[in-house]
Amino acid sequence: MAAIPRASVLFVCVHNAGRSQMAAAWLRHLSQGRVEVRSAGTLPAEQINPQAVTAMSEVGIDLLGLTPRVLTPEMVKSSDYVITMGCGDTCPVFPGKQYRDWALQDPAGQGLDVVRRIRDEIRERVGDLVAEIDRNAHAADISGRRADDAA
């Protein structure tokens, strides 16, 4: 039986400096390599939000050395799930992708206490996403086994 390809997730926000970077880091951490993870922004900032770096370091996740990246249509095309966070209509839409819009407060200009709350909300949503991806992979694995058994 052929291996089921890893799911791929793209997180998009305007500056790719806070929400999308935290979400991508959480997904890398929680999925333990089971999911391909990307993040980008429609108007990338010059650097990651320092408050996001601090908030994530408090939970043992390092954002240092990451840089915001510009969103490209190819990123969207090559992703199974596209999670947007406040980028509105500027994100390209392609058929066959699973789109989600997470209404999350923007951490830009916020104090560390607010950024911590945003971090924790993102962690909860990413945990739910990992569970969904795992369920879908399990269902695909069972379907694949049934098809192999019938052959």
Which position among 37, 40, 75, 91 bears the catalytic label? 91
* Residue type present at position 58: E
Which position among 7, 13, 24, 104 bears the catalytic label? 13
Q: Following DSSP, what letter does each residue of 117-131 receive, concatenated?
A: HHHHHHHHHHHHHHH
Active site residue 2: no
- Sequence-ordered list of residues with C-beta below 8 angstroms from that of 34, at least 6 positions apart, any chain: 6, 7, 130, 133, 134, 137
Which position among 7, 10, 75, 87 bears the catalytic label? 87
Cβ-contact 57, 22 below 8 angstroms = no
Active site residue 53: no
Look at residues 101, 105, 104 and name the one whose alpha carbon lies nearest to residue 84.
101
Active site residue 87: yes
Active site residues: 13, 87, 91
